[in-house]
Amino acid sequence: MSSRSINNDKIKFKSLNSKNVMPHKRGNDYEPYFRIGKTLEKLLSEESKKIRPGDKLIDICERIENRIIDQGLFPAFPVNISINEIAAHYTAPPDDLTEIPENSLVKLDVGIRDKGYIVDAARTLVFNDGLKKLADAALSCLDAAKRVMKPGINLQVVGQTIYDEAKRLGFKTIANLSGHKIGRYKLHAGVGVPNVPVPVDYKLKVGDIFAVEPFLTFSEAPGMAKPSKEAYIFSFRKKIRSLNKIQEKIILLAENRFKKLPFAERWLIKPLGRRVKEELTFLAKKGALISYPVLIEAKGGIVSQEEDTFLITEDGALPLTRA
């Protein structure tokens, strides 16, 4: 699930399972990542084959989330299904009637957590042969990024590599969407992985966990994502005073059950009722919650995305969901 630059005009970033390629730490420190990564790889492979035009987004989201829960794990964030010009942060709202369209490009972005360990990955599904090159280019950019990622490399080099590969293939990266460092119970751990050549004050270290996610569009598009008016995903930011009972319950769930990670509006309907949308909007305006607006390419350009979570080892970057 992507990070978004706050200022679209000035883009700034602060900053497989193989027993033979491990950092100099106890091997079992990373075992949860390998285990979750293998689970997520299998899930994405199977679901990518199941999803077809005409399927309802809410059915896909809930099926995948329930598959994760049935294995004793938890979604690290609501399943994202972003279609065509929608770049990121679309999860089905309650009673969503949206279906996968014919001749579309669909980004399936899924995260799994277990005891705070998180793996995040995305695949682009192609239902229009004319868009296959755009989808393939995102994967090529991810592979190019993997090849340069190793200890001591500045993340600016990764951004430059993704940008150059996209340009070589005739496409453009989405400049204000990025990958992100991952920590325990932290989906976005304070360091972004750019998809463009911008300064980044961070060099990769052995043991780092990073989600890298090139977002691409056609070269004539602006290559920027803009927020829509709708937001169906939220996360905990801080406690505030003077809350009604429903608001108090939302904050408790956001902090304790969801562990301050992103959650979906529809996850709250059963425990709290239909009024929850109004309360979520209020809490976001008051600064108690972070809202994640649906992000759309600025001029409606079709967007592709590929993502994997990488463990940085002495020998390079180890992908966790692509054996």
Among all residues, which ones are annotated catalytic? 109, 120, 180, 188, 213, 307
Contact at 8 Å (CB) between 221 and 304?
Answer: no
Q: Is 155 helix (H, G, I), strand (E, B) or coil?
A: helix
291: amino acid identity, one letter: S
* Token pair belonging to 45: 């492979």
* Angle, helices 245-252/276-285, rounded to nearest 10 degrees: 70
With left for phi above 0 and alpha for psi between -120 and 50, is residue 38 left, alpha or beta? Answer: alpha
User: What is the residue whose two structure tokens read 């600025």?
Assistant: 298
What residues contact 46, with CB distance under 8 A and at least 6 apart?
none
Strands (E), 104-224: 105-114, 117-126, 171-173, 177-181, 192-193, 209-212, 215-218
